[in-house]
Structure 1
Amino acid sequence: MVPQAFKNPPQAPPLFTGTPDSVIQDTKRIIEKSRGVEDKIVAEVKPEDACFGNTMLPLAADENQGALENHIIGFYQSVSTNQELRDASTKAEEMMDDFSIESSMREDIYKLVEAALKKDEKLDPESQRLLEKTHKAYIRSGLGLPAGPKRDRYKEIKKRLSTLCIIFSKNLNEEVGGLWFTPEELEGVPEDVTALFAKGEGENAGKLKMTFKYPDLIPTTKYAKRPATRKKAYIENENKLPQNIPIFREVILLRDEAARLLGYPNHAAFIIEDKMAKTPKTVDDFLGDLRTRLTQGGASEMEVLKALKKQELKSMGEDFDGYYFLWDHRYYDRMMLEQDFSLDQEKLSEWFPLETSIRGMLTIFETLFGMTFVEIIGDDRSAISPSGKGDDIVWHPDVQVFSVWDSEDQGSGFIGYLYLDLHPRPGKYGHAANFNLQPGFMQENGTRRYPVTALVCNFSKPTPKKPSLLKHSEVTTLFHELGHGIHDLVSKTIYSHFHGTNVVRDFVEAPSQMLENWCWTPSQLKALSHHYSWLSPEYEAAWRDQAGKDQPRPEKQLPDKLIENLIKTKHVNDALFNLRQLHFGIYDMTIHEPKSHAEVESFEFSEMYNRLNREISHFDSPAQLGQSYKWGNGQTTFGHLLGGYDAGYYGYLSSQVYSADMFHSVFEKDPMDGKEGRRYRHMVLEKGGSQDEMETLKEFLGREPNGDAFYRELGLS
């Protein structure tokens, strides 16, 4: 039961009662309301009278109110089990994007915003930033172009890009393919993984279906003893979305054309101008320097892994041909951890049941940031539901919901709602991500509107014999995404435009990357762990059935020796991991930074993706066996590049510079220092995007950030 003090949050949670019809009708209503606000401003305000209060403020208020509904309307396509509702959500997002493009190219509004900016009023810093950013956004939306064919073409491109990116993402979410394998072909894959595979009938009788969802694919490529199985799983996954091939190509061509219409040399220059890096050269130099530093380390790591492969093949009576393939890496990387560090990831996962891991993570955030998480279940859901029905405040029965509050020393106030949707199902978003469902902002009456945020992940479901168990990499992923959720929750900005993770792309990952360090801290690993045999008598009995009646029961928390071995692996094969990230980042920059439009038209996107992978990471592929580099279409599964990280994937690497600097400068000595945690909460997370991100970093660190800690961690200083 919810403690009495937390029974009545000052804001009800949202309802998830949308239908295919209501989603479309609500979208039309929101659009008409926003259009009406803009028309009213134009009708009532002359350019000479334009100021922040009569021009910018009503636009910001409309943006605030619209976000309370339109984020959820667009969210259904990622989580609903109803195909018609997902389709309606996708259609609604297209309608909202079309209106957004139309709105962003209203010259009458732009002239008023420009006049308000020139008035040079004394505004608070966040309002001034909103005015400047909005003015620049109109220019970047094509209003710097003279009215006529060029501007019309730019608008046409923006609408087409919106449609294409939505379809690309929908294809990814709704992909339902897979491969049928015999039990022999799946030799080595843990039984608790294959037990969840669909069982074949008819022509597939006796076979099991591995889907391309992560809980199926990753264990198969990590554990399947037969190279042919791993190869087939890897290559078919790269080629699972042929319908995305022409979409990807058209998007890159249109982006380049649009950037050139605005006078930029390419799309990368257009995108990066607004980021911390400012210029493509800064990004290219950073990625190139990192590649130079990592290449020798990657080659050395690969030689060790090749020796391991040679040794295994010899034990099987087979010759080693000298190749180390893309589909070999997860398998031999895992084998190395087991052999050299006595680290069996399957065994280790027994100490990380999903539910206790989440509770442990929330406890860390409570201690560090001064927060309290209260799960809302049963009748308490109905009590706070605006409809009186508890089921209406979640979109699926699996979903958990928490009310989030300040701790006593932070004032005991309400913070917002956190949702957790953790298991895979058909039609659901396929990776792990944080979604803002309702932003926080200051309402016109001076009270605060509280945020609502959701974590959407795909961890395996529990079985009668085992709860959902997390690999350590999944513990880190969950902590990372929860970090985004916390950023979303504790942010306090005047305008929703700057709320939470609405920061520049090359900073957005830094707060969550910094928090990953807690998953490598002995005391926190101990606190997070809880062997599943201690969860219930039933799980203890199931464990004994598997381990043997005479085996002593494992320690309740992760043993110190295992923690020690795990921490030793933190940087094992780190160079190869980061070279893989460099492949993604350099590919992203290469396709968005052509010298001419003719050059981008000549790009062979699949061939380039695979060739760069070979040149940067040095993994072998079918191309080394005599095939062309067109063997796979990995870019068609690369959701980031059509989902907001275009000319921005480098941010995963560059923001590690900031995250390493923050952790090693402030938290390394005592990761659970609540004083520093609260300072970080208020100086970094609370600010959202309401001030320049570099200023935020400098204020927190007391100096300019630098890469010393990042390169030292990688052994590259």
Structure 2
Amino acid sequence: MQFKFWNRAADANTALLAEAVDIRSNIATIFGHTSWADHMLEVKMAKNLEAVNAFYDSVIPGLTEKAGSERAALQALFDKDQDGELQSWDWFYYANERRRANYGIDPNEVAKYFSLERVMDGMFEITGDVFGLEYSRVEDARAWHEDVALYEIRNKNESEPLAYFYADLFPREGKFGHAAAFPIEYGVREADGSYRKPIAAIVANFTKPTATQPSLLEHGEAVTLFHEFGHVLHFCLTTVDMLRFSGYDTEWDFVEAPSQIMEHWMWQPEVLQRFAAHHETGDVIPEDLVNRLVEARDLHVGMQTIRQVFLGKLDMMLHDGSDTTDLEAITREANKLTLLPFHEETHFLASFGHLMGGYDAGYYGYLWSKVYGDDMFSEFQRLGVTSPEVGKRYRDEVLAVGGSRDAIEHLRAFLQREPNSDAFLKNLGLDGS
């Protein structure tokens, strides 16, 4: 399956990518930049290629060591079944086997604690408490499909809505196949002094409820819902006057941080026990189960994260001004980071959609923004994971101000100190503890 997936439209897409890389390089030269990476990074938090490379250099040694020990454990499982070397298409399977053996987690059993209705209610309750908000469903949604719900967002104890968002959460033929948040109407100051209310949409493809069973989410799907709702809040709680800087129109390598911070709540026992309950018995999710979910999540964090580094480095190797005439050689070199053999006779780059979807010289932003998402959540951990005081400061200094100032200034204002990578490294187990 991986062979077929990585070879989809390989000839056509490889040629198009090579052409795009050349065109980008020429554009960078016209603007006086040494590479497309430096051209693109000028308006991002990183500012230049050297900063991105320094970031990767700071984590690669520790991640490689951690991933190496994880890979050895997976190789031992592989050796019980067959001879040879663990391959890139094997490791997901054996990672799941190891996770199941070590922690006894059955995703289908876990899903019984996460009915969509309860997760939505819990998400509204928690963000309502932390950010001082209330939510109501609008009965006459007038949406594009009968499954789509419309909600209004208000400040607590106020009747006037701040914003609206649509929730399009179930699959149907022809629908966008992933989870994402989309802008519909940006918040902006009108000529008469009034403020245009933001309208967003959250789109996903969760299992649809039936007459006998509610929509049940795997824990990872519930995390995804919280993640995308982070984008919705970032968009909808803006107070910026100018459209260009409204909502989540911030630096591209910061935009994921306000959604990544939301994921943290989905791993806290004291948070989950407020809403996660078995849909048949009503029993609250056991703390032991949450702890095992966390341990299972971190079981292969080295290999998972080093793969993100591989993708980011591969992207940069295409756009750092180096010779790009041999795309396969570049892919082979970057693949060494994964500690897994190169999949021969495949063309991974032809299926790496981010390179043609706006993340060129930008894929590093996923990990870069996670540093800041983890750092911001550490402030909640320090003062209370659902602290309204911290929530108000976060809302005022990060969510409300959009792109009206540099993101580094958001961080300094919220954290009341210089941001750092301590929480990020601790979460990866690279802090020496």
Question: TM-score band, normalised by the shorter chain?
Answer: over 0.9
- 2:326 aligned residue (589, 603, 620): 603
- 1:521 aligned residue (268, 293, 300): 268
Partner of 1:615: 336
TM-score (norm 1): 0.58
Q: Which amino acid aligns with 1:494?
A: D
- 1:355 aligned residue (113, 117, 124): 117
- From the superposition, tell whether residues 612 and 364 of structure 1 become closer, same or farther in structure 2 (CA, over 3 Å): farther
Q: How does 1:294-333 map to 2 (within 5 A)?
A: 294-311=63-80, 313=81, 320-333=82-95
Distance in 1 (CA, whole Å) between partners of 2:193 and 2:39 is 37
Partner of 1:691: 405
Q: How does 1:363-512 map to 2 (within 5 A)?
A: 363-377=125-139, 381=140, 393-408=142-157, 411-464=158-211, 466-512=213-259
Distance in 2 (CA, whole Å) between partners of 1:352 and 1:330 is 24
CA offsets 1:304-323 (integer angstroms, 9 cap, x no match) = 11222333x2xxxxxx2232
CA RMSD of aligned residues (A): 1.9
- SS for the counterpart of 2:97 is helix
Q: Which amino acid aligns with 2:34?
A: P
Partner of 2:60: 291
- From the superposition, tell whether residues 579 and 264 of structure 1 become closer, same or farther in structure 2 (CA, over 3 Å): same
Checking the alignment, whether the CA contact within 8 Å between 2:128 and 2:134 is kept in structure 1 is yes
Shift of 1:668: 4.4
* 1:713 corresponds to 2:410: no
Q: Which amino acid aligns with 2:340?
A: F
Distance in 1 (CA, whole Å) between partners of 2:330 and 2:108 is 36
Shift of 1:659: 1.4
- From the superposition, tell whether residues 324 and 692 of structure 1 become closer, same or farther in structure 2 (CA, over 3 Å): same
* 1:674 corresponds to 2:395: no
Distance in 2 (CA, whole Å) between partners of 1:620 and 1:468 is 39
Further displaced range: 440-449 or 522-531 = 522-531
- From the superposition, tell whether residues 238 and 459 of structure 1 become closer, same or farther in structure 2 (CA, over 3 Å): farther
Q: Which has the higher helix share?
A: 1
* 1:236 corresponds to 2:24: no
Q: Which amino acid aligns with 1:308?
A: L
Checking the alignment, whether the CA contact within 8 Å between 1:418 and 1:452 is kept in structure 2 is yes
- From the superposition, tell whether residues 613 and 420 of structure 1 become closer, same or farther in structure 2 (CA, over 3 Å): farther
Q: Which amino acid aligns with 1:480?
A: H
Checking the alignment, whether the CA contact within 8 Å between 1:667 and 1:676 is kept in structure 2 is no
- From the superposition, tell whether residues 620 and 460 of structure 1 become closer, same or farther in structure 2 (CA, over 3 Å): farther
Shift of 1:482: 0.6
Q: Which amino acid aligns with 2:252?
A: R
Shift of 1:251: 1.8
Percent identity reads: 35
CA offsets 1:22-43 (integer angstroms, 9 cap, x no match) = xxxxxxxxxxxxxxxxxxxxxx
Checking the alignment, whether the CA contact within 8 Å between 2:245 and 2:403 is kept in structure 1 is yes
- SS for the counterpart of 1:275 is coil
- SS for the counterpart of 1:506 is coil
- From the superposition, tell whether residues 250 and 396 of structure 1 become closer, same or farther in structure 2 (CA, over 3 Å): farther
Shift of 1:567: 2.4
Q: Which stretches in structure 2 are left out of the alignment for 5+ residues?
A: none
- From the superposition, tell whether residues 366 and 514 of structure 1 become closer, same or farther in structure 2 (CA, over 3 Å): same
Distance in 2 (CA, whole Å) between partners of 1:274 and 1:639 is 22
Q: Which amino acid aligns with 2:330?
A: M
CA offsets 1:482-511 (integer angstroms, 9 cap, x no match) = 101110010110111101110001111111
Checking the alignment, whether the CA contact within 8 Å between 2:313 and 2:334 is kept in structure 1 is no
Checking the alignment, whether the CA contact within 8 Å between 1:442 and 1:449 is kept in structure 2 is yes
Partner of 2:277: 530
- From the superposition, tell whether residues 477 and 241 of structure 1 become closer, same or farther in structure 2 (CA, over 3 Å): farther
Shift of 1:689: 0.3
Shift of 1:282: 0.7
Distance in 2 (CA, whole Å) between partners of 1:668 and 1:327 is 40
- From the superposition, tell whether residues 322 and 660 of structure 1 become closer, same or farther in structure 2 (CA, over 3 Å): same
- From the superposition, tell whether residues 436 and 707 of structure 1 become closer, same or farther in structure 2 (CA, over 3 Å): same
- From the superposition, tell whether residues 356 and 507 of structure 1 become closer, same or farther in structure 2 (CA, over 3 Å): same
Tell me the number of residue pairs that the alignment of Structure 1 and Structure 2 aligns.
Answer: 430
- 2:316 aligned residue (573, 589, 593): 589
Distance in 1 (CA, whole Å) between partners of 2:79 and 2:273 is 36
- SS for the counterpart of 1:505 is coil
Checking the alignment, whether the CA contact within 8 Å between 2:99 and 2:105 is kept in structure 1 is yes
Checking the alignment, whether the CA contact within 8 Å between 2:380 and 2:387 is kept in structure 1 is no
Q: Which amino acid aligns with 2:70?
A: E
Distance in 2 (CA, whole Å) between partners of 1:286 and 1:342 is 36
- Bigger CA radius of gyration: 1
Checking the alignment, whether the CA contact within 8 Å between 1:420 and 1:456 is kept in structure 2 is yes
- From the superposition, tell whether residues 321 and 650 of structure 1 become closer, same or farther in structure 2 (CA, over 3 Å): same
- From the superposition, tell whether residues 669 and 330 of structure 1 become closer, same or farther in structure 2 (CA, over 3 Å): farther
Checking the alignment, whether the CA contact within 8 Å between 1:530 and 1:558 is kept in structure 2 is yes
Partner of 1:52: none
Q: Which amino acid aligns with 2:339?
A: H
Q: Which amino acid aligns with 1:603?
A: D
Q: How does 1:45-64 map to 2 (within 5 A)?
A: none
Distance in 1 (CA, whole Å) between partners of 2:372 and 2:389 is 20
Checking the alignment, whether the CA contact within 8 Å between 1:584 and 1:649 is kept in structure 2 is yes
Distance in 2 (CA, whole Å) between partners of 1:476 and 1:668 is 22
Q: Which amino acid aligns with 2:203?
A: V
Distance in 2 (CA, whole Å) between partners of 1:344 and 1:692 is 43
- From the superposition, tell whether residues 398 and 603 of structure 1 become closer, same or farther in structure 2 (CA, over 3 Å): farther
- From the superposition, tell whether residues 240 and 413 of structure 1 become closer, same or farther in structure 2 (CA, over 3 Å): same
- SS for the counterpart of 1:453 is strand
Checking the alignment, whether the CA contact within 8 Å between 1:520 and 1:570 is kept in structure 2 is no
CA offsets 1:519-552 (integer angstroms, 9 cap, x no match) = 110011222313232xxxxxxxxxxxxxxxxxxx
- SS for the counterpart of 2:391 is helix
Which structure's relative contact order is higher, taking Cα pairs within 8 Å and 6+ residues apart?
2
Distance in 2 (CA, whole Å) between partners of 1:659 and 1:247 is 35
- SS for the counterpart of 1:508 is coil
